Structures are given as structure tokens and as C-alpha cells.
Amino acid sequence: MLNISHISKTFNPGTADSKLALDDLCLDVDDGEFITIIGANGAGKSTLFGAIAGSFFTDEGRITLDGEDITMMPEYLRARKIGRLFQDPMRGTAPGMTIEENLSLAAGHGGWLSMAGSGQKKEFREMLRQLEMGLEDRMKQPMGLLSGGQRQAVTLLMATINPPSLLLLDEHTAALDPAAADKVLAITEEVVKKDHLTCLMITHNMQSALKLGTRTLMMDAGRIILDVSGSERGSMKVEDLLERFKSISGKALDNDRMLLTSEKDS
Ligand SMILES: Nc1ncnc2c1ncn2[C@@H]1O[C@H](COP(=O)(O)OP(=O)(O)O)[C@@H](O)[C@H]1O
Ligand SMILES: [Mg+2]
């Protein structure tokens, strides 16, 4: 369970570039919830993830995870409980190391293959086979040779090989071509379901936001301005979301093509 209580964050305080990126934000997330997060560029979505993961300390407020106050916990310690994926498939893996070594590193073997037993190598092979990307026969190839979609799929395995308390996905399919994005989203759903993970997923895609998960948040100006779940969400269409955004924020969600098109034709 994640509890975020009244967190605020100002970047470059006291300067001309001062920016209030999180504004007294509160959020409670139950175990096993899969939440999608949408909002215009600059709304504070990635900053929210940074605050949760400990990339910086918030100016105010409190964050607890599984009952433990992590507000002042350094990022590297939070990383033991929090998995995080980014838009850029180059982040999060060691490109010069093989797939097998990357998985071994993620599993906690310090990256040295000699330390991953043959039993575990079999497990890696089976995990890769389930991706249905042919990677089970490429375990000795460097990560750097994989396509963006393949890398994000393996990064997803790495982030969940020891199931985290919380999985943060920050537009992890936005840099992929539509077919690869669909594939990685399908894998995401499976991985989250298999381990009953608690997951927050930022997406630029409104269709994905309504289709995946059980609850959708919309952010604007460092706040959560809409929080829908259950039957209300079930009957919602993209147009309804846009309409709700407009009526609450008093402005139209920026006409970013990515926000309006479906994953298939974006
Ligand atoms: N490290 C930083 N230093 C200064 N300003 C930042 C930093 N990170 C984010 N911001 C600013 O905070 C606001 C929110 O950014 P961000 O959380 O990245 O938005 P989103 O992910 O919703 O597009 C933006 O105005 C952005 O320019
Ligand atoms: Mg962002």
C-alpha cells in the first residue's frame, strides 16, 4: 500500500525559473491496484514518479510504502522495493552486457553469469520464451543489439524478476512503433497480473489509459484533477475523459496528436 500525503515540490525555488511541479498532492494506492495516469506535458506526472522513487526529496508532505515512511529514504534503498521503467529503452539496462547477464544482475547476482546457476538460467530462458519474441535463443547476445520493443520487454522482466512492492511505468511504450507498443502493453498486463503487482502507469495514450488497469488519474498543474474507477470508468470513452478535463480545468487538453489517437494508428 502506497500513501502519499500532501506532497509539494518546487524546482529552482526563488529563481526566475521557479516551478511548482507538485502542488499539495495526495494519493492512496491499494495493494494490487493498477492505475493509469494521463495529463498534458508538464502536468507533473514524471515528477510524481520521481518523488515516489526518491530521485529528489519533496519540500513538504509524507510518503509511506507498505507502512514504512520512505519520505527521506535515499533512492537506492527505495529501488529495492520500487521498479521503474522509462520512455527511453536505452535506460535501465547495460547495453554491453548480454541478456542473460542483465537478467542475472537484476536477480541479484552482481551480473556475473558464473553466479547464476543452471537452474536459474533455465528460468530466464522460460521467462524469455513467454515473451514470444524469440529471445530465448539470444541469451548470449548483448542487450544493445535488441530492438526498442525487445529491450522494454526484457527491462520489464528485470524490473519484476524480484516482484517489487510498486512498479512505476513512465510512458514506457511511447518511443516504440505501434506494433511493438501493443506487444509491450500486452506483456505489461500479463506481468502485472501474474505477480498481482501494484502498478502506476503514465501514458500519453487515452485509449490505453482506459483499457488497462482499474483506475485512471488525470493530472494538471501538479495536482490530481480526476480520479475514476469502477463502473464510472468502465463506461467512459476518450471523448468523456477530454470533456471531464475541460470542465474541471477550464481548458482543453492540449491538442497533442498522441493523446487523441489510438495506439494502433499513432
Ligand atoms: N529537474 C527539474 N528541474 C526543473 N524543472 C523541472 C524538473 N523536472 C521537471 N521540471 C518541470 O516541472 C514541470 C513538470 O514536469 P514533469 O513532471 O516532467 O511533467 P510531465 O511528466 O507531466 O510531462 C514542468 O514544468 C517541468 O519543466
Ligand atoms: Mg513525463
Whether 90 and 172 have beta carbons less than 8 Å apart is answered as no
Residue type, 115: M
Look up the pTM and report it.
Answer: 0.93
For ligand 1, atom 16, the nearest C-alpha belongs to 44
Pairing state of beta strands 166-170 and 199-202? Answer: parallel
For ligand 1, atom 8, the nearest C-alpha belongs to 47
**Whole-angstrom distance, CA of residue 84 vs CA of residue 17:** 28
pLDDT on residue 255: 52
- Ligand nearest to the backbone CA of 11: 1
Per-residue pLDDT tens for 163-204?
A: 999 999 999 999 999 999 999 999 999 999 999 999 999 999
pLDDT on residue 264: 44
Q: Please say if the pLDDT value at position 89 is more than 90.
A: no
pLDDT on residue 97: 93
pLDDT on residue 85: 97
Quick one: cell of 206?
A: 487515452
Cα radius of gyration rounded to whole Å, the chain: 19
240 pLDDT band, cuts 50/70/90, is very high
Whether 187 and 151 have beta carbons less than 8 Å apart is answered as no
**Whole-angstrom distance, CA of residue 88 vs CA of residue 236:** 30
**Whole-angstrom distance, CA of residue 90 vs CA of residue 145:** 11
pLDDT on residue 112: 53
Per-residue pLDDT tens for 49-82?
A: 999 999 999 999 999 999 999 999 999 999 999 9
Between residues 213 and 110, the one the model is more confident about = 213
Tell me the average pLDDT of the chain. Answer: 92
* Phi, psi for 69 (deg, rounded to 5): -75, 115
Identify the residues whose C-beta falls under 6 Å from ligand 1.
11-12, 19, 21, 39, 41-47
Per-residue pLDDT tens for 124-162?
A: 999 999 999 999 999 999 999 999 999 999 999 999 999
For ligand 1, atom 19, the nearest C-alpha belongs to 42
**Whole-angstrom distance, CA of residue 150 vs CA of residue 125:** 15
